[in-house]
């Protein structure tokens, strides 16, 4: 069982796409473990995007993610990281497969609506960064036997 972080970034929140994105992941069969609407602190943004420090787009990325509320979600399930990334589509919306969130609702890589963890290890680390253990709920969905073998 994996856990992954999904952020609906400021552009997705401002455009009213939170429900659409949440619904697509939920219908995929994953279990929502945590959810919150929040303003991201500069410190949290810098920790989350530390891998990009020194890159030309880093400062703009930090300014953008702290500019308006985001919705942070933790999702759990078999192959949760891969499943969420398939729902979201490629990071660059112009390269995303039709039917994915980014292909359907985004055009610009700098406003690609969402962040999804890129590995199980990063998913666990990112969920721990964005949520306290008390905020992450452990529960079994009634339909789990109908979704996972």
Q: Quote the pLDDT of residue 145.
A: 85
Q: Quote the pLDDT of residue 75.
A: 99
DSSP assignment of 65-96 equals HTSS-EEEEEEEETTHHHHHHHHH--SSGGGS
Which pLDDT tens digits describe the chain residue by residue (149 residues)? 899 999 999 999 999 999 999 999 999 999 999 999 999 999 999 999 999 999 999 999 999 999 999 999 999 999 999 999 999 999 999 999 999 999 999 999 999 999 999 999 999 999 999 999 999 999 988 888 888 88
Q: Quote the pLDDT of residue 66.
A: 99
Structural element, H or E, at residue 50: none
Q: Among 39, 48, 52, 115, which one carries the catalytic annotation?
A: 115
Structural element, H or E, at residue 8: strand 2-8
Q: Quote the pLDDT of residue 141.
A: 86
CATH class label, 2-137: alpha beta
Spell 21-42 as b/e; 16+ CB within 10 A means b. bbebbeeebbbbbbbeeeebee
The structural domains of the chain, with segments of one domain joined by +, span: 2-137
Q: Quote the pLDDT of residue 147.
A: 87
Q: Quote the pLDDT of residue 113.
A: 98
Which CB contacts under 8 angstroms, 24+ apart, belong to 52-60?
57/110, 60/110
Q: Quote the pLDDT of residue 111.
A: 96
> Cα–Cα distance between 83 and 80 in angstroms, integer?
5
Q: By the 8 A CB rule, do 11 and 111 touch?
A: yes
Backbone angles phi, psi at 6, to 5 degrees: -125, 120
**pTM of the complete model beyond 0.85:** yes
39 is catalytic: no
């Amino acid at each position: 069982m994996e856990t992954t972080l999904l952020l609906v970034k400021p552009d997705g929140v401002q455009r009213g796409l939170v429900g659409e994105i949440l619904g697509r992941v939920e219908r995929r069969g994953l279990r929502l473990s945590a959810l919150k609407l929040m303003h991201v602190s500069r410190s949290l943004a810098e920790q989350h995007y530390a891998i990009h420090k020194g890159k030309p787009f880093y400062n703009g990325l930090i300014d953008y993610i702290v500019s308006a509320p985001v919705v942070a979600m933790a999702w759990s399930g078999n192959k949760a990281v891969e499943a969420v990334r398939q729902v979201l589509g490629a990071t660059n919306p112009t390269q995303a497969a039709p039917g994915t969130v980014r292909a359907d609702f985004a055009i610009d890589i700098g406003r690609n609506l969402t962040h999804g963890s890129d590995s199980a290890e990063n998913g666990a680390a990112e969920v721990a960064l964005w949520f306290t253990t008390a905020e992450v709920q452990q529960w079994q969905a009634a339909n789990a036997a109908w979704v996972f073998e």
